[in-house]
Amino acid sequence: MTKFPLKQAVAVAVLASASAAAYADTQQSLGTISTSAPTVFNSIVGPTTTGFSDIFTFDVQQPNFGGAATVVDIPLSFSGFSFDTVLATMSLVSAGADGAIGGGDDTVLQSVVLPSPGNSDNMLSLDWNTSLSGLHYLNITGVTGGSEGGIYAGAIAASIPEPETYAMLLAGLGLMGAVVRRRGMRKTS
């Protein structure tokens, strides 16, 4: 009789149940992304030869000045079981004015598709320099290469303007006000 350690049995049971749950639902809400700390997410994808397309919805705390997202494969192999993900694309999409995914007015804001500089089939990242408001989502696609599917994890972060940015904005507004006032004084004299 083959000995199967308790830890490995528990790990297999947890991964199998998580895989079944992830296989049934490919859309997950991340809630509101804070500008103070990154939000992490993950997915366990069942074995597939046709690929997967996962959607992670989020809203961004206001004010924000842009952000970034990264996704990495987590290869895992033990006792004849393997998990491996081959990542293909990651897109940042606005859900549009109707706030519904697939409502007809979704707009792809930015996308990374392999092959692209700085990205590989086990890590994708993108960043944006525009403020986001309303419902948005990350659409992550790929295929699994492990006997039991694949596991990947990611993080998304929103940024706020640095204090120096606000200082430069106020200084610029002050200079513009001084120019307008000076021109106004010239016209009255």
Domain for residue 187, yes or no? Answer: no
Pairing of strands 81-83, 52-60: unpaired
Domain for residue 174, yes or no? Answer: no
Residue 123 sits in a domain whose CATH number is 2.60.120.380
CB 30 within 8 A of CB 39: yes
Domain for residue 129, yes or no? Answer: yes
Domain for residue 172, yes or no? Answer: no
Domain for residue 143, yes or no? Answer: yes
How many domains does the structure of the chain reveal? 1
Per-residue pLDDT tens listing for the chain (189 residues): 344 444 444 444 444 444 433 443 479 999 999 888 899 999 999 887 789 999 999 998 888 888 999 999 999 998 989 999 999 999 999 998 888 888 889 999 999 998 888 899 999 999 998 888 889 999 999 999 899 999 999 999 987 655 555 566 667 667 666 666 776 677 666
Tell whether omega for the bond before 47 is within 30 degrees of 0, i.e. cis: no
Domain for residue 175, yes or no? Answer: no
Domain for residue 186, yes or no? Answer: no
Q: What is the span of the domain harbouring residue 87?
A: 6-162
Domain for residue 137, yes or no? Answer: yes
DSSP H helical ranges for the chain: 6-24, 163-188
